[in-house]
Structure 1
Amino acid sequence: MDISSLLLTESEEQSVNLTSSWNFETTPETPQFPADIIYQILRNFQYCRSSLCKFLQINQTWCHISLIFLWNCPFSVSLKAKNSVLLIRTLLSFLSEQEKSELKLNLTCYESNISKNSTYNYLDYIRVFDLKHFRLSILHWISYLRNNNDDDFFSDSLIVELNKIYKDIPINYSTVNLASEIISNMLFRKCGNNGLQHLVIEYDDIITSNYVISKNIIYLNNDLPKLVNFDFHYKLEGNFDKNLLIDRIVEMFEIMTKSVKNLRWLEANIEHEEHRLPKIGKALVEFIEEQNNLEVLGINEFWMYEESEIYRRICKSQQKSLKHVRFYGMCNFKELIKGLSECKNLITLELLRISKYDSNIIPMNDELESKGLSIKNFYTCEVISFDAPEITNYFIQIINMSNKNLKTLTLTHVTPDIIKTLVKFCPNITHLSIYFTFYFDLIPDLLSVLLTSLPLEQFLLKIDNENSESTIYTQDYWNKIAKSIPDSVIHLGIDFKIEKNMLDMFLKEFVVQYAKKNNNLLKELGFLWDPKDFGFISHSNLEDAKKFIKIIGKVEPFNKPFYDIKLNIPHKKDHLLSSFLSCKKG
C-alpha cells in the first residue's frame, strides 16, 4: 500500500512519487546514522509531510522513523477524497472482527473484507486527533461507498469533490456519526501506550455543528487520561436547539473533568451572539481547576459580570504553572488583573476582540497598588477603543504592573497617556507593534519620546490614516518619524497611507541612510503593499535599498504576534524506537 498517498494534500502529492514496492537496500552514498540521530534530523521536518515521504525511500530505519511523524496526526489537514478513502480503509483494517461486524450491521454499503496487511502498526503512532478533518474524511469515504466504489468519484478538483459530497450530506448524517463513533473509539483504544495527547474539536461548516459534540467524544473519558492539549473552537448557531448544544458541551467538560488531569494547553473559544453562557462557564472552570500543570490557557469570558470570583478560582488553581493566557471578548479587567497577579510564572497576556466594557466595574487602584505582573509579552488585538477611557486606564495598569519585565508589546489602542506610562515604566521593550487610530497629529512627537531610549530590535508602525486630514502629512512629519527609529532596529514594518513621492524619499533619505549608518544592521523592511507591484518606490531607489537591506517585501499582518506560543509535546522517542523491531512483520 502506498502509505505516502494517505497523508498528502494535493500540492504535496504532486511533489512526491513513491512506488508501492520500496527498495530498502542502502546505497553506498547513504550516510549511516544511529536511529536517535535520524530521529533528531526528522524532527525538523515533522510538519512537512512531502519531505517525510521522500525520506521513506532511504532505508528501513529512515522509513520507520518518518512514519512516526507522518502518523502523529493523520487528520491534520483536509485531504482529497481519494486520500481520505485510502486512509480510512487503512484504519479499518485494524478493526476487530466484532467491530467490523458492528459497522457492517449499521452501514450496509460497507464491505468488511479488508484484510490487515500493513507492515507497521500505524495506530501506535497517533498522538493528535482532529475531529473536524476526521469526520470530513469519513464523509468522503461514505460518499465513495454510496457511489458503489466508483473511482470516477475522485476528481482532480477538490471543489468538484466537495460539490458531490454536499449532495450526499442529508442522507449521511446518521451514517457519519455512527462510523465516526466506531472508528474513533477504536483509534483511541489502540493508539499505543502513550495514548492520545492532543484533541482538536472545531466547528464544521460541512457537517453541521449539531453533531460535532457527539456521544463518541462525550463518552471517551476512559481513553483520554494522557491528554495534554485540548483545542475546542465552536459556534452556536440560531438554527439549532441552543439549550441542547449547551447541555452537550457542559456534559463533555463534566465527564472529561473526571479523567483528564494533566492538560498543559487548553483553548476553549465558543462563538455565540449572547456571549454569556454561565452553564458552560461553570463546567469549564471546574475542568480547569482539576488540571495539575496547565501552562497555556485561552478562553472566552462565558460567565456573568457579577461572577468575579471565577478569575480568582482559575488563577489560584494554576498559579504556579500558568505561563500564557489568552482571553476573547473579556471585559472585567479588574478581577482579571487581580487574578493574574497571583501567577508568578506568567509570560504572555493576550486580550482579543475587546469591544464592550461594563462601566459598572470601577477600578480600585488601592487593591492593585502592591501587586505586580511577571508578563514579558502583552498583546492586544481587535480593540474597538473609541470613547473607552476605562480600557485606557486598565492598559496603563497592566503596563505599570509589568514594569521592567515587559519585552514584547503589541497595542491596537494607543493614547498619549499610554505612551507616557511606557516611557516611565518599561525601558526594556525589544519588540514593539503599535496601531494609532487617533491622535494623528501627535504621532511624530509621541514616537520621538517613546522610541529613542528603547533597545528595539523589531518595530511595526500602523497608522489608520486612510480617511484623516491629509494636510498634516508633510515631509517633515515623516522625517520626524524616521529619525525617531532607534539604531538597534533589525526588522522594520510600516503600514500607513503615504504619498508616493514621500515614500520614495522616506526610503532613500532615511531608511537607506539608517542602514548605512548602522553597518547594515537593518535586515528586513516590510510594507503593507509590495513596493515592486504598485510603483510606490522608484526602481533605482529600491535596488539601492537592497544593497543594504537583506529583505524588502510585505509586512506581516498586524494581528500576528511576534512571539510564537507552541507547546512542544515530545514523542516518546525511547518507546517508539525500541519498538522498531517488534512492530515489523517477520
Structure 2
Amino acid sequence: MDIASLLLTESEEQSANLPSWNFESSVNPPITPSEIPQLPSDIIYQILRNFQYCRSSLNKFLQINRTWCHISLIFLWSCPFDVSLKAKNSVLLIQTLLSFLSEQEKSELKLNLSCYELSSENSITYNYLEYIRVFDLKHFRLSILHWISYLRNNKNEDFFSDSLVVELNKIYNDIPINYSTVNLASEIISNMLFKKCGDNGLQHLIIEYDDIVTSNYVISRNIIHLHNDLSQLVNFDFHYKFERNFDKNLLINRIVEMFENMKGFVKNLRWLEVNIEHEEHRIPKVGKALVEFIEEQKNLEVLGINEFWTYEENEIYKRICKSQQKSLKHVRFYEMCNFKELLKGLSECNNLVTLEFLGLSKYNSNIILLKDELERKELSIKNFYTCEAITFDTPEITKYFIQIIKMSNKNLETLTLTHITPDIIETLVRFCPNITHLSLFFTRHFDLIPDLLSVLLPPLPLEQFYLKIHNENSESTIYTQDYWNKIAISIPNSIIHLGIDFKIEKNMLDMFLKECKAKLRTISLFQRYMLNRHYLQIIVQYAKKNNNLLKELKFLWDPKESGFISNSNLEDAKKYIKVISKVDPFNKPFYDIKLNIPHKKDQLLMSSFSCKKET
C-alpha cells in the first residue's frame, strides 16, 4: 500500500512529489548513503516533533532508514482520523484497519457487506494500532461511510477528492441506505481498535455529535462497555446534542452507564470536557454520574462541563473542587448560573489559572450570596473569560462578576469581559493593577465609554487591548472625533497589539491612530466593512509614520481570498507591513492549545527500535 496515498492530503500529495513506495517494503528500507549522519533515536524523535503536522515531510523521512521510519510512524499514526483527512485517503485507511480484524470479525463484516463484494485484505507487517494516541469517533464514522459508499460505487477511485466533510455532500443520498451498515462496521472495527491499541496507550478519545453521521449511535454498546481498553486515557472530549426524534431517557441512561463503567478504569485524566446540548439544560442523572467519575480522577487539570445538577444540589461544586484541589488549573462552563456555590468551591483550588464562562443561565432568585459569605476567600486565577454575549442583564450578574474580580485581585492578568457596567470598571481600577491582556465588549453605556476607559487603561501594564463596541445601530451623534480621540489618548504606551471592533469612519480612524501614543506591532480589524483599500491605506500611512514598527495587519477575512482588496494594493502594503492576514479570535483562551501531555508509550516504542548504524 502506498504510504503517500494513505496519509497525505491531496494538496500535500501534489507538492511532495514522492516516488511510489510500498508500505511493507520498510522492512528493507532504501540503502542509506554513508554521508547521512547516524543520530540517537531520542534526537531523531525531537527533530521529527517539529514536523508532526507536516505529513509530506514525515513520508520522506520514512525512506531514510529503519529508525527514521519507525519514529515517523509515531507521528503519522498518532491521530489517523481528523478533519484534515481526505475522503479518498480515509478509504485506504479503513482498508488498512480491516487487516487487523480476526477471522470471526471479518466473517461478520463480510456477511453484512456481501452485496458490496468486500474483498479480503492482505496482511501487513507493522502493528500500526500501537501508534494510535488520539481517536476521533466522528471522523472515524465519516471514514466508514465513505468506504462503504466507495464499495457501492464499484470501487471508483475518482469518486472522492476533497475533505471528509465536503465529500459528504456527494453521498448524502446514500446515508439512509448505509446507516445500519455504518453502525455495524463502526462497532466491529472500533471495538477491535480499542482492544488492540488501548493497552499500548490510547490517550485521547473524542466523541463529538454529528447530526448526519454520528447521531444517537455515538453512545453505542461498545463505547459503554470499554472496560480496561482505555486505562491510559488522559484526554476525553464528549460533545453531544439530544435530537427531538430520539428517546431522551434511553440516551440519558446510556451516557450515565458510560460514565459509571469508565470510572472503574479511567483514573488519570488530565483533560475532561463534557458538553451536552439539551433544551432542559439540567440532567441530574448525568450530573451525578459525571461528578462521581470526576472524583475518581487523580490529577485533573482541565475541566469543561455543563451545570447538569439542580439548584438544590449545593455540594456538587464542593465535591468536584475538593477531589481536584491541587491539580485543577482550567475550568470552563458551557452553561451555568450558580455562582455562589461555584466560587465557594473554586476558592479551595490552590493552583487554578483560568475561569471561563461560555454560557450563563438566567439567575435564580433563590440563590442568594449572604453578606461576608466569601469574605477573605481568594481565587488564584490569572485568566478570566466570559461568554461572547449575555442576553440578559441583572444586578446579580454584575454582583458576581465584581465578586470574581475582587477575589482574583492582583493575580488577574488576562480578562475578556462581555458584561460591562461602571461598577465593574470601578472594581477593576481598585483591585486589578496587573492586567496585560484585556478584551472589552460594550453592549450598553455607550456615552460613558471614553470616560470609563480613560480611568481604567492608563495605569495598566497592557500588552494587548481589544475593544468591541456594539454601535452599528446606536445613535451616531455621540460618535464624534472628540469621542474617539479621548479613547485613543487613554491607550497606554505599553500596548503592542490593538484590536478594533467598532464602527468608525475612515477619516476618524486616521485621527484615532495619530492620537494613539502606543507603538503598535499588530493591528486587528474585526469589522467587515474595513476590508477595503481605503482602510488599508490608512494603516499603511500609520506604519510609515512609525518607521515601519507595525509588523502585522489582520482583517476579519483573509484579504487574499476575499476579493475586496486587489493584489497590487496588497503588494504595495507589504512593503511596509510584513504580514497581512486573517484575524485570529482575540479572546481565544490560551489553554485552547491542548496540554503537552507526554506520550509514555512513545519512549517504550523508541527503546525497541534498532539504533545500530544503517548501511
Where does residue 20 of structure 1 map in the other structure? 20
1:195 maps to which of 182, 201, 208: 201
- Correspondent of 1:299 among 301, 305, 320: 305
Matched, 1:575 2:576: no
CA displacement at 1:80 relative to structure 2: 2.9
5 Å matches for 1:34-183? 34-77=40-83, 79-108=85-114, 109=116, 111=118, 113-118=120-125, 120-155=126-161, 161-183=167-189
- The Cα of 1:308 is off from its aligned counterpart by 1.8
Work out the CA distance in 2 between the residues paired with 1:218 and 1:563: 29
TM-score (norm. length: structure 1): 0.92
Q: 1:54 to 1:473 in 2, by over 3 A?
A: farther
CA contact (8 A) 1:416 1:446 kept: yes
Instruction: Show CA shifts across 1:543-583 (max 9, x none).
Output: 5257121112224334423554522222233212122249x
Could you tell me how far 1:420 is from its partner in structure 2? 0.9
Instruction: For residue 529 of structure 1, report the CA deviation from its aligned partner.
Output: 4.2
Alignment partners' CA distance in 2, 1:32 and 1:581: 12
Q: Is the 8 A contact 1:500 1:537 kept in 2?
A: no
Determine the structure 2 residue equivalent to 1:524.
522
What is the aligned partner in structure 2 of residue 519 from structure 1? none
Indicate whether 1:453 and 2:451 are aligned.
no
Equivalent-residue separation in structure 1 for 2:170 and 2:495 (angstroms)? 53
| SS at 1:322 equivalent | coil
Cα deviation, 1:500-556, whole Å, max 9, x if unaligned, reads: 11012222x234x532xxxxxx32111114756251354662552571211122243
More moved, 145-154 vs 69-78 = 145-154
Report the CA distance between 1:47 and its aligned residue: 2.8
Residue 446 to residue 164, structure 1, CA distance change in 2 (3 Å): closer
Instruction: Judge which range, 475-484 or 319-328, deviates more.
Output: 475-484
Q: Quick one: which amino acid aligns to residue 357 of structure 1?
A: Y
Contact 2:275-2:304 within 8 A present in 1 as well? yes
How far does residue 335 in structure 1 lie from its aligned partner after superposition?
0.5
Describe the shift of the 1:192–1:290 C-alpha distance in structure 2 as closer, same or farther (beyond 3 A).
closer
How many angstroms apart in 1 are the aligned matches of 2:425 and 2:267? 42
Comparing 149-158 with 258-267, greater Cα deviation is found at 149-158
Contact 1:378 1:409 in 2 (8 A): yes
**8 A Cα contact 2:12 2:55, kept in partner:** yes
User: Using a 3 Å threshold, how does the CA distance of structure 1 residues 112 and 538 change in structure 2: closer, same or farther?
Assistant: closer
1:148-176 deviations in Å (ceiling 9; x for gaps): 33335335686884244222222222211
Partner of 2:518: 514
Return the alpha-carbon distance in structure 2 between the equivalents of residues 426 and 336 of structure 1: 21
> Match of 2:471?
465
Partner letter of residue 547 of structure 1? N
Find the aligned partners of 1:461 and 1:287 in 2 and give their Cα distance.
Answer: 40
Bigger mean CA offset, 540-549 vs 170-179? 540-549
Q: Cα offset for 1:275? A: 0.9
Q: Aligned equivalents of 1:157 and 1:255: distance in 2?
A: 35
What corresponds to 2:578 in structure 1? none
Partner of 2:554: 553
Deviates more, 1:451-460 or 1:37-46: 37-46
Distance in 1 (alpha carbons) for counterparts of 2:78 and 2:584: 30
SS, match of residue 467 in structure 2: strand
Partner of 1:518: none
Amino acid at match of 1:162: L
Give the one of 381, 395, 405 matched to 1:399.
405
The 1:155/1:12 distance shift into structure 2, 3 A limit, reads closer
Distance change (3 Å), C-alpha of 1:334 and 1:185: same
**Cα deviation code 1:185-216 (max 9, x no counterpart):** 21122227432111000001222512111112
Indicate the residue corresponding to 2:435 in structure 1.
429
Residue 4 of structure 1 and its aligned partner are, at CA, apart by 3.0
> Residue type matched to 1:169 in 2?
I
SS of 2:372's partner is helix
- Hey, what does 2:561 align to over in structure 1? none
Which TM-score applies when normalising by structure 2? Answer: 0.88
Pick which of 144-153 and 466-475 moved more. 144-153
CA separation of 1:125/1:446 partners in 2, compared to 1, >3 Å: closer, same or farther?
same
**Alignment partners' CA distance in 1, 2:92 and 2:192:** 17
Q: 1:415 to 1:31 in 2, by over 3 A?
A: farther
1:123, 1:152 → 2: CA distance?
28
Rate the CA distance shift 1:488–1:71 in 2: closer, same or farther, 3 A.
same
Deviation at 1:110, TM superposition (A): 5.6
Map 1:477-516 onto structure 2 (within 5 A). Answer: 477-507=483-513, 509-511=514-516, 514-515=518-519
SS at match of 2:16: coil
**Are residues 557 and 147 of structure 1, via their aligned partners in 2, closer, same or farther at CA, if it must alter by over 3 Å?**
same
CA 1:34 to 1:510, structure 2 compared with 1: closer, same or farther past 3 Å? farther
Distance 1:343 1:280 in 2: 24
* Alpha-carbon contact 1:503-1:537 (below 8 Å) kept: no
Identity %: 77
Which runs of structure 2 are paired with 1:403-414 in the superposition (5 Å)? 403-414=409-420
1:2-28 CA deviation, whole Å, 9 max, x = no partner? 123223333333333323327733346
SS state at 1:41 partner? helix
Q: Gapped runs of 5+ residues in structure 1?
A: 516-521
Aligned twin of 2:9: 9
Larger mean Cα displacement after TM superposition, 153-162 or 92-101: 153-162
